[in-house]
Copies of this chain bind each other. A is one copy, B any other.
């Protein structure tokens, strides 16, 4: 009981400080913020050895727990990974400052000049389970967009994350910024997350990044708005008129270039009129890359060596070298399948037909819809946002990759000369 009270006090104290300094961060010049970001990048690189040493503590604990080596690899900090973290922050420094941008301005009949100006959101809580470089990325993006951030990383990277934040805090203090701009939980208990999710007066936005279970936990406990980064059950529909050479290249890329990420293709929909020509071809190149294929009855008539795709396969985000294939009657059925089984993440059509291209773009309301391009392009860098803090699958506020702009909101500003309302 006493412990729970201490924990509550600690979390509230963090949130209060974050809110206090957020007012100051909101009005920093871009120059000042960029200076701080460059200092952060240098500090990470200078402290390589310390970071690798702290990281070894985390890795040691995981080794004892006999965790899969793929997970160990993701968590490992090497000189190259640390260099990459620094480079990432430098890139954020090079991006334009979103704060203060007037996105539009117009004059009213009574002479009032009305505009919408970008301002920071305020205090952002980020709850994540992934690699320690998320810590540096998130800190950089939040600082550049004038927000203070409260980080809660996974227990498996506890020492690494603590060390990264400590280094970043010291760096921004040298530039004269309050170190409370970047805070991290020093406790690992899940109760601490629950406490944080109650603080709607202090925290403006929660971004959970991790498995479905974590996201559901956060959504159901939070009084604070949550932007979800759920799974990506991404589809490609190969239309009757598709250039099959292009379709093969794009599907191969979407499935195997990096199968473990949310914008990789999970289900391939093929027009029945080209199934007989296309399926053997795509199956051959995919199987050569080690992809396991599961198919609907029609697909299995053409590809005799593949497994059956069960109903649950159509909902599945494999994040692995597995692909389910369904033969469809045409674009209508393809769009219907996506509406039923999709996760609103990323869908593409491969076609040479103008009307089907436009129809697919219009009727499929996922966060990113592509014509004749790989689903792997649904990414903040690739789409031109400069950076991303994740890919939102919630429609509110941000839908798709969240860059610096999506870490701001807009207020109305009005220039008058004495107008009153009649």
Contact = CB atoms under 8 A, between A and B. Distances in A.
Contact of A204 (B249, B396, B410, B413): B396
A223 B394 CA distance: 12
A249 B421 CA distance: 10
A225 B421 contact: no
A122 B362 contact: no
Contact of A376 (B243, B374, B421): B421
Interface string A345-386: 000000000000100011101111111111011100011100
Contacts of A220: 223
Instruction: Please state the number of chain copies in the assembly.
Output: 2
Contacts of A114: 383-384
Choose among A226, A370, A378 the residue with the greatest number of B CB atoms under 10 Å from its CB.
A370
A250 interface: yes
Contacts of A362: 27, 100
Nearest to A365: B119
A30 to B, nearest CB: 13
A27 to B, nearest CB: 6
B257 A420 contact: yes
Interface string A52-75: 000000000000000000000000
A414 B369 contact: yes
Contacts of A383: 108, 114, 412, 414
A261 to B, nearest CB: 11
B121 A396 contact: yes
Contacts of A373: 112, 414, 416-420
A368 B115 CA distance: 10
Interface in A92-106: 100, 106
Given A26-B365, A112-B373, A369-B414, A397 B400 contact: no
A155 interface: no
B416 A372 contact: yes
6 contacts: A108-B382, A112-B377, A122-B395, A246-B418, A369-B412, A382-B421
Given A372-B415, A372-B419, 12 more contacts: A119-B365, A219-B223, A225-B225, A369-B411, A369-B414, A370-B416, A371-B416, A372-B416, A373-B416, A374-B420, A377-B416, A397-B409
Pairs A-B, 5 closest by C-beta atoms: A373-B416, A253-B420, A397-B397, A370-B414, A376-B421
